[in-house]
Amino acid sequence: MKQRPLAITVLSWMYIAVGVAMLVVHGRTALRTPHPEDAAILTVELLAIVAGVFMLRGANWARWLAVVWIAGHVAIASLNDRRAVLVHAIIFVGIAVLLFRAEAQAWFSHRPAQGS
């Protein structure tokens, strides 16, 4: 099996860390003062963790989930202010570049050995 690119390892762990941190923050808030959108917010945070874990394993769908996840944040930021959109858009471009570079393409297109 090919070795995972460092950029994918770092990005995957960032997704996991952000997902866990925000799950803790929003989970505590949801327990104190529940809101109707809490389930959706917690689900989105779980998706970040799922994307990170499965990108570490080389799942191509997880790469797409990561891109959709950050694109969703660009869309959500557009409801707030231009600066938030700009910041999220820059992050989106950086993530997309990292996830679609040649070495990342090779990692996400590898085929596991039979029986694993």
- Nearest Cα to 38, choosing from 50, 47, 30, 46? 30
What is the identity of the amino acid at 116?
S
**The dihedral of CA 66, 100, 76, 19: what is its sign?**
positive
Predicted model pTM? 0.88
At residue 31, what is the residue type? L
Over the stretch 9-21, which tens digit does the pLDDT of each residue have? 999 999 999 999 9
**Residue with tokens 């997902």, as numbered in its chain:** 19
Question: How confident is the model over 90-109, as pLDDT tens digits?
Answer: 999 999 999 999 999 999 99
